[in-house]
Amino acid sequence: MPDLGTTALLFLGLCAAAAAGYLVKTRLPERHRSHESLELVQLTINLLVTFTAIVLGLLTTSVKGGFDRSYDGFSTLSGNLIQMDGCLSDYGPETAPMRASLRQYVAAVIATTWPDEKPPNGVSNLDLRGVPMVGESVTLGAILDEVGHRLRGLDPPDVRRQQLQRLCETQFGDLIKSRWAVIESVRPSFSAPFYWVLVLWLIILFASIGLTAPANPVSVIVIVLSAVSITVAVFVILDLDLPFGGLFGIPSEPMRHTLAELDAGGR
Percent over 90 (pLDDT), the chain:
24
pLDDT at 84: 93
pLDDT tens digits, residue range 206-220?
A: 998 888 888 888 989
Residue 259 belongs to a domain = yes
Residue 258 shares a structural domain with residue 166: yes
Residue 170 shares a structural domain with residue 198: no
Residue 125 shares a structural domain with residue 33: no
Instruction: Provide the residue count of the chain.
Output: 267
- How many whole angstroms separate alpha carbon 146 and alpha carbon 217? 68
Residue 130 shares a structural domain with residue 224: no
Task: Quote the distance between the C-alpha of residue 176 and its chain's center.
Answer: 21
- How many whole angstroms separate alpha carbon 224 and alpha carbon 188? 30
Tell whether the model's pLDDT for residue 138 goes beyond 70.
yes
Tell me the average pLDDT across 162-180.
92
Residue 245 belongs to a domain = no
- How many whole angstroms separate alpha carbon 26 and alpha carbon 131? 57
Tell me the average pLDDT across 245-249.
75
Residue 246 belongs to a domain = no
Task: Quote the distance between the C-alpha of residue 143 and its chain's center.
Answer: 25
Percent over 70 (pLDDT), the chain:
89
Strands (E), 181-266: none
The terminus-to-terminus CA distance of the chain in angstroms comes to: 38
pLDDT tens digits, residue range 58-70?
A: 888 888 888 888 8
- How many whole angstroms separate alpha carbon 205 and alpha carbon 235? 18
- CB neighbours of 146 closer than 8 A, spacing ≥ 6? 101
Residue 80 shares a structural domain with residue 170: yes
pLDDT at 252: 84
- 47 is in which domain, residue-wise? 4-66+188-240
Q: Mean pLDDT of all residues in the chain?
A: 84
More confident residue, 252 or 167: 167
Residue 96 shares a structural domain with residue 25: no
Residue 53 shares a structural domain with residue 12: yes
Residue 156 shares a structural domain with residue 225: no
Tell me the average pLDDT across 253-265.
85
Tell me the average pLDDT across 72-90.
90
pLDDT at 64: 84
Tell whether the model's pLDDT for residue 166 goes beyond 90.
yes
The answer, as to whether pTM is greater than 0.85, is no
186 pLDDT band, cuts 50/70/90, is confident
Residue 183 belongs to a domain = yes
Tell me the average pLDDT across 163-173.
93
CB 91 within 8 A of CB 185: no
- How many whole angstroms separate alpha carbon 143 and alpha carbon 149? 10
175 pLDDT band, cuts 50/70/90, is very high
Residue 96 shares a structural domain with residue 126: yes
Instruction: Please give the tally of structural domains in the chain.
Output: 2
Alpha helices in the chain (DSSP H): 4-27, 35-91, 96-113, 138-152, 159-185, 192-212, 217-240, 253-265
Residue 139 shares a structural domain with residue 92: yes
Residue 13 belongs to a domain = yes
